[in-house]
């Protein structure tokens, strides 16, 4: 079989609602690896927040921060940090409205507030072990690939107007990912595909969320999870079962990668 590049989102795709990896998913990925295919992760998470999963699945290729930081076997293939002046504009607007931020580089994440209930609830939902630090000036001296803004949906429009050179993608009722304008998983994958020299028809992607829409639109063979957002399903070429119903295994069978 021709070698394929198969890309998986994490939350709602590899992980179920309890942030657990279904046994059938792990077995399917191991089978694909045994057949010589390249397996990658594409996620809104930061690299340090899915290191354990990469080790469990023996995956060394990933698109992190919704496409802004791409790595293959410890080599940085592509990076697209947010411009500092835009971070300053975002910070000023957020401070004015009392909304906290978390700034993230590839090694850590730091909030500009010491405590905030909605921030804590959103971060707790990720079920990660990495504690958020406190450093309001972290963005001033580090490359920031993604920022988390903590506000409800009704406040989101004011940010899009105030800092129109940034993109805002909601992932939680209390939080949105903040990215460079035009930044997406699709852009990160495009750079990875060029680096690997893979033909578009040999690229596959699985996702479920709003931050997967561009990826599912761009990738030639795209599969949305049954539990996915309606816009993700609309963007994908195929729709599989829910993640908790062996959705990854079924999707791989659906596109002919597994029997």
Q: Which residues participate in catalysis according to the annotation? A: 9
**Contact between residue 224 and residue 216 where contact means Cβ atoms under 8 Å apart:** yes
Question: Which token pair is 65?
Answer: 């921060």
d(CA 42, CA 65): 8
């Amino acid at each position: 079989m021709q070698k394929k590049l198969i890309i998986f989102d994490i939350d709602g795709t590899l992980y179920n609602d309890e942030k657990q990896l279904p046994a059938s998913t792990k077995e399917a990925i191991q089978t694909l690896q045994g057949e010589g295919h390249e397996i990658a992760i594409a996620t809104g998470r930061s690299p340090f927040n899915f290191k354990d999963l990469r080790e469990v699945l023996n995956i060394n290729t990933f698109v992190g921060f919704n496409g802004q930081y791409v790595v293959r076997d410890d080599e940085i293939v592509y990076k697209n940090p947010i411009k500092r002046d835009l971070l300053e504009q975002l910070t000023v607007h957020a401070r004015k409205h009392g909304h906290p931020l978390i700034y993230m580089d590839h090694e850590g994440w730091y909030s500009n507030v010491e405590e905030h209930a909605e921030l804590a609830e959103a971060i707790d939902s990720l079920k990660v072990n990495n504690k958020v630090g406190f450093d309001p000036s972290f963005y001033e001296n580090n490359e920031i690939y993604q920022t988390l803004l903590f506000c409800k949906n009704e406040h989101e429009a004011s940010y899009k107007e105030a800092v129109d050179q940034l993109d805002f993608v909601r992932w939680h009722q209390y939080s949105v990912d903040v990215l460079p304008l035009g930044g997406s998983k699709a852009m990160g994958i495009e750079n990875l595909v060029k680096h690997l020299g893979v033909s578009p028809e040999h690229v596959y992607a699985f996702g479920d969320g709003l931050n997967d829409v561009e990826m599912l639109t761009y990738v030639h063979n795209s599969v949305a999870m049954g539990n996915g957002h309606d816009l993700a399903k609309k963007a994908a070429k195929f729709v599989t079962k829910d993640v908790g119903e062996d959705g990854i295994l079924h999707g791989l069978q659906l596109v002919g990668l597994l029997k």
